Amino acid sequence: MVVFKKNKGFNITHVNARKRKQNKKNFDSFFLQLIWIIPGLFFIGVFVFFSLYMVIKNGTNGSPRPIYEWYLSAWNFKAILTDQTFLIALKNSLLYVVVTVPIGLVISILCAKALSSILNKRIFSFVQGVFFLPYVTSAMAVAMAFSFIFSSSSGGVFNQFMGLFGIDSVAWLKDSRYAIFTVFIFGIWKTLPFQIVMLTSAFIRINKQYYAAASIDGMSKWKQFWRITMPQLTPMIVYLTTLALIASFKVLPLGLFGNEAEAEKVNAQTIIFWIYERTTGSSTNAISYPKAGAASLFLMFIILAVTVVNRFITKKLAVRYK
């Protein structure tokens, strides 16, 4: 007679108890993590998804309706596309993108190249901090400083500077011929710090052996820049271009003019400025959430299209410089 001894190492009851203990531990861990992320989920749900729902609802409804009613209509889009002030704002925003993005990148590349050539670490850190300071400064404070620099009176800083050369004062923010260019200068100056710091780090990461080998082969500095530096900077330039394009469509020069009515007088309003005035109201513009929602959706489609095109170009450049 064969007697099988009981395998003490195998106990189904013990295994099931261990699994239940592990499952309880996993559940407790998940519940604890859920408690930590609930505030974030609530914030995203209210201020992102619910806000997006309200924008889409207001923009596509033909007239104001209760929050639970939704009637699809293109009336608001027709209304904003026949509004002369919105068309001027759209033109200014597109012009702002075309002017400020390339000029800002060119200036940033030149400044970053000069900054990366500084060998003394203390001087480099100091100059880098000076360049980055405007980026961490409040946009409203920067705009107010610009409104003082480009003041229309003869006491304005820029007008005083031009007076040294015998040039008459210019009403920078009061004249429709110059107001939008003041917005351009403000936008370029505001975006330079971040771009310069990012490009400086990209310059520093380039392997110096590439330049040494090119110099031995007799390659000029100009050719080194285009055949070594630019291909190495391309990923960073594409990244900064994407950010600059999106930020340019969202520019709000509130500190320069105070309200859209002043900007409209000189044809310097932007899309975000136009939307802002329709959600807050002013002495010249009544609150209109449907028009503001339609304009927001219109802007979202523009940014989405620009992002898709930029992604396509990025993939092409990645294949080329791989």
HSE value, Cβ hemisphere, 13 Å, CA-based, for 42? 6
Looking at the 3D structure of the chain, how many domains does it have? Answer: 2
Q: Are residues 94 and 215 in the same domain?
A: yes
Residues 158 and 248 in one domain: yes
Maximum distance among all Cα pairs of the chain, rounded to whole angstroms? 122
Asked if residue 211 and residue 264 are part of one domain, the reply reads yes
Residue 234 counted as domain residue? yes
Domain membership flag for residue 68: yes
Same domain, 224 and 301: yes
Q: Based on the domain organization, do 48 and 88 belong to the same domain?
A: no
> Are 63 and 100 in the same domain?
no
Chosen domain end from 16, 45, 73: 73
The domain in which residue 304 lies consists of 83-320
Predicted pLDDT of residue 28:
65
Q: Is residue 33 part of a domain?
A: yes
214 and 94 assigned to the same domain: yes
Taking phi over 0 as left and psi of -120 to 50 as alpha, with beta for the rest, 91 belongs to alpha
The whole-angstrom separation of Cα 27 and Cα 22 is: 9
Q: Are residues 150 and 270 in the same domain?
A: yes
57 and 113 together in one domain: no
Tell whether 206 is covered by a domain. yes
Can you tell me the mean pLDDT for 22-44?
76
Q: Summarize pLDDT for 69-125 with one digit per residue, the tens.
A: 555 567 888 888 888 888 999 999 999 999 999 999 999 999 888 888 775 667 767
Cut 0.85: pTM above it: no
* Domain limit, last residue, from 47, 73, 99: 73
User: Looking at residue 114, which CATH number applies to its domain?
Assistant: 1.10.3720.10
- The pLDDT assigned to 21 comes to 63
Residues 68 and 87 in one domain: no
Is the pLDDT confidence value at 128 over 50?
Answer: yes
Angle between the N-to-C axes of helices 84-116 and 230-249, in degrees from 0 to 180, rounded to the nearest 10:
150
Q: Is residue 46 in some structural domain?
A: yes
- Shared domain check, 148 and 119: yes
DSSP-H helix ranges across 45-83:
51-60, 75-81
**Is residue 119, in this structure, part of any structural domain at all?**
yes
Q: How far apart are CA 321 and CA 312, in angstroms?
A: 15
Residue 78 within any structural domain of the chain: no
How far apart are the C-alpha atoms of 149 and 159, rounded to whole Å?
A: 8
Q: Identify the pLDDT of residue 4.
A: 47
Say whether both 68 and 138 belong to one domain. Answer: no
Last residue of a domain, one of 48, 73, 98: 73
